């Protein structure tokens, strides 16, 4: 993958203090972008930022507070960003929570659907005016292999009628992919230069893999790093989606290896459910209703 310069570009990466987000931030900063680490834990964010600056002298890295499980925090982040910056080239919707015990966000949403999808949906909508004003900006939303065979259960989005961690994770990742696809359709419909792309990291060794919310025993951690691709490789589909000149918008990028579990970035075909336009529009309408955020596509 060619190393395009990103000098002069501004990028927000959610959940960028560790794992895929941190590796993405390193690559962006190394190519000259100004990177905003949008993180829930400021202390961890500052540590990550310091590490990036030590690795790349002259890197411009900012840390801003963002809790995707709290819509007030999402609004506060967007307002603070818009007051400080006059352009936004890249919004990387990266942060995610995977198969936690049943819990709800501050606003009463099931934690995975609320954080992984609704938080990013609201964030994107609030930052859209700045994205639209920035020529050829991009929104990259991370999905997962878990989106395959998943479904959106509109009658049980909050999990109150039964909850299974992996099922709800798959639902949130299908929602991410459907949102990315529908967003690109709407951007194109309004003749805008902003692109929306989805991607996934394959199966990467990140701190998403925890047992019941606890750290994994060392023996399993060692096996994981032996058989799964490292976060440095898992970040490449995100970087490709964010920077490659061949991207037209609406693509789904993942690793090119067996089962799309590891390898280098390539175009991938999503689950057929993603192509259901009526379903995408229903998800969009429900998301606007739940978050109270509507998208304004006028310049």
CATH (domain of 101): 3.40.50.720
Q: pLDDT class for 141, splitting at 50, 70, 90?
A: very high
pTM equals: 0.93
Q: What is the pLDDT of residue 152?
A: 98
Q: What is the pLDDT of residue 207?
A: 45
**Average of per-residue pLDDT across 61-83:** 98
Considering the domain boundaries, does residue 299 fall inside one?
Answer: no
Q: Which domain holds residue 21?
A: 10-291
Considering the domain boundaries, does residue 298 fall inside one?
Answer: no
Give 190-213 pLDDT, tens digit per residue: 999 999 999 999 886 554 443 334
- What total number of domains does the chain contain? 1
Query: Does the pLDDT value for residue 37 go beyond 50?
Result: yes
Query: Does the pLDDT value for residue 215 go beyond 80?
Result: no
What tokens appear for 10 in the block? 């501004």
Considering the domain boundaries, does residue 5 fall inside one?
Answer: no
Considering the domain boundaries, does residue 247 fall inside one?
Answer: yes
Give 75-86 pLDDT, tens digit per residue: 999 999 999 999
Considering the domain boundaries, does residue 166 fall inside one?
Answer: yes
Q: What is the pLDDT of residue 208?
A: 47
Considering the domain boundaries, does residue 265 fall inside one?
Answer: yes
Considering the domain boundaries, does residue 249 fall inside one?
Answer: yes
Q: Which long-range contacts (CB under 8 A, 24 or more apart) does 75-82 make?
A: 75/122, 75/126, 77/38, 77/123, 78/123, 78/126, 78/127, 81/12, 81/36, 81/127, 81/130, 82/127, 82/129, 82/130
Query: Does the pLDDT value for residue 164 go beyond 60?
Result: yes
Q: What is the pLDDT of residue 58?
A: 93
163 is catalytic: yes
Considering the domain boundaries, does residue 122 fall inside one?
Answer: yes
- Among residues of the chain, what percentage have pLDDT more than 70? 91
Residue 116 phi/psi, 5-degree rounding, is: -70, -40
Q: Rounded to whole angstroms, how far apart are CA atoms 244 and 266?
A: 11
The residue annotated as part of the active site, out of 56, 102, 163, 169, is 163
């Amino acid at each position: 993958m060619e190393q395009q310069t990103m000098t002069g570009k501004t990028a927000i990466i959610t959940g960028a203090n560790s794992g895929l987000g941190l590796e993405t931030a390193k690559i962006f900063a190394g190519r000259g972008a100004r990177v905003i680490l949008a993180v829930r834990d400021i202390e961890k964010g500052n540590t990550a930022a310091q590490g990036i600056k030590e690795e790349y002298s002259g890197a411009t890295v900012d840390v801003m507070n963002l809790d995707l499980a709290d819509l007030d925090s999402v609004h506060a982040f967007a307002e603070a960003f818009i007051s400080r910056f006059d352009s936004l080239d890249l919004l990387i919707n990266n942060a995610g929570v995977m198969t936690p015990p049943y819990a709800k966000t501050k606003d009463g949403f099931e934690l995975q659907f609320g954080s992984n999808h609704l938080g990013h949906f609201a964030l994107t909508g609030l930052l859209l005016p700045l994205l639209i004003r920035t020529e050829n900006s991009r929104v990259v939303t991370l999905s997962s292999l878990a989106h395959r065979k998943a479904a959106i259960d509109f009658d049980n989005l909050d999990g109150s009628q039964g909850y299974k961690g992996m099922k709800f994770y798959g639902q949130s990742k299908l929602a991410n992919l459907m949102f990315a696809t529908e967003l690109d359709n709407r951007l194109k419909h309004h003749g805008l230069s902003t692109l929306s792309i989805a991607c996934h990291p394959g199966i990467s060794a990140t701190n998403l893999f925890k047992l019941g919310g606890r750290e994994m025993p060392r023996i399993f951690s060692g096996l994981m790093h032996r058989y799964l691709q490292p976060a440095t490789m898992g970040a490449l589909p995100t970087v490709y989606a964010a920077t490659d000149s061949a991207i037209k918008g609406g693509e789904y990028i993942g690793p090119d290896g067996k089962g799309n579990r590891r390898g280098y970035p390539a175009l991938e075909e999503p689950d057929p459910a993603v192509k259901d336009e009526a379903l995408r529009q229903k998800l969009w309408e429900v998301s606007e209703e739940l978050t109270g955020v509507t998208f304004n596509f006028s310049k």
